[in-house]
Amino acid sequence: MPVSSAVQVRRLTGSIGAVLDAIDLRAPLAADAVARLRATIVEHQVVFVRDQHLTEDELRTFAARFGPLGVSPLHQVLGTGRTTSVIEDTADRPPAGFDWHTDLSWTAAPPALGFLSAVEIPAWGGDTMWASLSAAFDSLPPGTRAACRGLRVRHRPDRTLLESVARHHGDEVARRLRDAHPPVDHPLVRLHPVSGQRLLSLSPLYTEQVVGLERDTSAQLMATLERTLEDPHHQVRWRWAEGDVAVWDEAATCHRALTDHFPHRRVMRRCVVERGRPA
């Protein structure tokens, strides 16, 4: 679906990702343009816009057109109320190297949309990859799909996340974050609220186990399902340039950032939109 007659949508792969050309994310967007943009994000699951160079305020203003901005659980614990955060990798602050995940899948209501804005990008490395959870579901044999329906998976803040919080904010903050977020169960297969596609709701970084299955059986099933994320046919990989913006559908994707730029500097701004309105 075209966003407007001027904006061009260039698909990047057979399953996920598109680049939007001829769009200025700083320009005021009428409600119908926002609706078309939202539909384009749902259709392609992640979209990229080059050369935007948004300030923190501009990122916030653009993202807020899609719904209420989320205050991350960390910022809730810190009491800052901040709706944007900075990911800053340096020689002294190595990249987190998180495995595939959907943002905040360990919360009761994970966000609808994720936004990243590239501030400083190394000469090489530091790409981000997204995988399509609808393509992952569609790739399963019918028997496995049937076996997955009705299952629920337990999510919790991962140890590496809590260690990273402890490193940057202290043990007490990490403990309060963990205590505020006991494990939460989400369906393994979900219908996308807008597209109606079936999604294999994987978030390996934050997944503990399938509820009600023996630990070994659960581990075997999850390992089989998580292998679908590694199929390049389900992925898009973005080589960042400074000023790029990515917007993704959190329900329909999971993502991971590569760490091969270490020890070079990489700075990103990020925010999320809550599920307050359909996205």
Query: Nearest distance from residue 97's CB to ligand SIN, in Å?
Result: 9
Q: What span, in angstroms and rounded, lies between the C-alpha atoms of 29 and 125?
A: 33
Smaller CB separation from ligand SIN, 116 or 200: 116
Among residues 103, 158, 244, 249, the one annotated as catalytic is 103
> DSSP letter at 230?
G
Q: Which residues contact 255 (CB under 8 A, 6 or more apart)?
A: 46, 100, 101, 102, 114, 128, 129, 130, 131, 248
Closest CA to 85 of 168, 28, 175, 24: 168
Rounded to a whole number of angstroms, the minimum distance from the CB of residue 268 to ligand SIN is: 5
* Active-site annotation holds for 266: no
CA R_g for the chain: 18
Of the candidates 101, 186, 266, 269, the residue annotated as catalytic is 101
In Å, the largest CA–CA distance within the chain is: 54
Looking at the Cβ atoms of 247 and 257, the one nearer to ligand SIN is 257
Q: With the CA atoms of 14, 18, 21 and 24 taken in that order, what torsion angle do they form, in degrees rounded to the nearest 10?
A: 170
**What residue is closest to ligand SIN based on CB?**
257
Closest to 42 in 3D by CA, of 270, 272, 253, 205: 253
> Taking the complex as a whole, how short is the minimal distance between the CB of residue 196 and ligand SIN, in angstroms?
26
**Among residues 97 and 145, whose Cβ is nearest to ligand SIN?**
97
Asked if 118 and 240 touch (Cβ cutoff 8 Å), the reply is: yes
Which residues are near ligand SIN by CB under 6 A?
87, 98, 103, 116, 128, 255, 257, 268
Q: Which is nearer to ligand SIN, 166 or 267 (CB)?
A: 267
How does strand 8-11 pair with strand 18-21? antiparallel
User: What's the rounded Cα separation, in Å, for the pair 93 and 106?
Assistant: 25
In the complex, what is the shortest distance from the CB of residue 205 to ligand SIN, in angstroms, rounded to a whole number?
9
Q: Is 101 a catalytic residue?
A: yes
Q: How far is the CB of 145 from ligand SIN (least distance, A)?
A: 28
89 an active-site residue?
no
Catalytic residue list contains 155: no
Q: Residue 92 has what DSSP assignment?
A: S
Catalytic residue among 255, 256, 261, 269: 255
| Cβ closest to ligand SIN, residue 48 vs residue 210 | 48
Active site residues: 101, 103, 255, 270
